[in-house]
Chains A and B, each alone.
Chain A
Amino acid sequence: GIQVEQSPPDLILQEGANSTLRCNFSDSVNNLQWFHQNPWGQLINLFYIPSGTKQNGRLSATTVATERYSLLYISSSQTTDSGVYFCAGYSGGGADGLTFGKGTHLIIQP
């Protein structure tokens, strides 16, 4: 199966700062998703983005499929953005489950 690496593992920022989270894949993917896991453990869908760029409010994501990486941008951070951000991919053919990275633990300080 594919390998998923996320960086940085931890990030501490002040409210209002911008950040970029990165996800590298060992192989091409048919499905790539970004999630936010809040302190209560809920996995919130942020983006479904196997290729291209999408934006949703202060968040945007870009996937460069040919180079096997994806980036998540968070602008004007708020304390409610704190939590763990996961990317996950599925390469197709085989198990069909998403393979998750280990996540980026983001703390936004007031």
Chain B
Amino acid sequence: DTGVSQNPRHKITKRGQNVTFRCDPISEHNRLYWYRQTLGQGPEFLTYFQNEAQLEKSRLLSDRFSAERPKGSFSTLEIQRTEQGDSAMYLCASSFWADQPQHFGDGTRLSIL
């Protein structure tokens, strides 16, 4: 169990640029989740995958946000045309199944200049 891995740890970019984050879940975990955390708040659920199927995406913050998990292993979260308000910590978690504990990665901290 090597834990959930997220890259990069930090991303600084200019407003209007596209960014992509990667998450490698714990091996054999079927479920993968993305969350966003802003300063002073708890993480906010965005979307999740069961294997390669994205089963919930209505919580994605806008159509600028998209996520993929092409082979049911790692996942990517992309934000297009970044805005100041996108500055936050983006967290990934995985679990073996629905009612099992979720394990979180260390997150990617996004700063928009």
Contacts and interface: CB of A to CB of B under 8 A. Distances in A.
Interface of A: 4, 30-31, 33, 35, 40-43, 45, 48, 50, 86, 88, 90, 92, 94-103
Nearest to B47: A97
Contacts of B48: 95-97
B23 interface: no
Contacts of A101: 42
Interface string B87-113: 001010100001111111011010000
**Chain B contact residues: over half helix, strand or loop, or mixed?**
strand
A33 B102 contact: yes
Nearest to B31: A96
Contacts of A86: 42-43
19 contacts: A30-B98, A33-B102, A40-B106, A41-B109, A42-B106, A45-B104, A88-B42, A90-B98, A95-B45, A95-B56, A96-B33, A96-B56, A97-B33, A97-B47, A97-B59, A98-B33, A98-B102, A101-B42, A102-B41
A101 B103 CA distance: 17
B45 A41 contact: no
Interface residues of B, number: 29
A75 B13 CA distance: 43
B50 to A, nearest CB: 9
B41 A96 contact: no
B84 to A, nearest CB: 20
- Interface core residue of B91, B99, B100, B107 (most chain A CB under 10 Å): B99
A43 B104 contact: yes
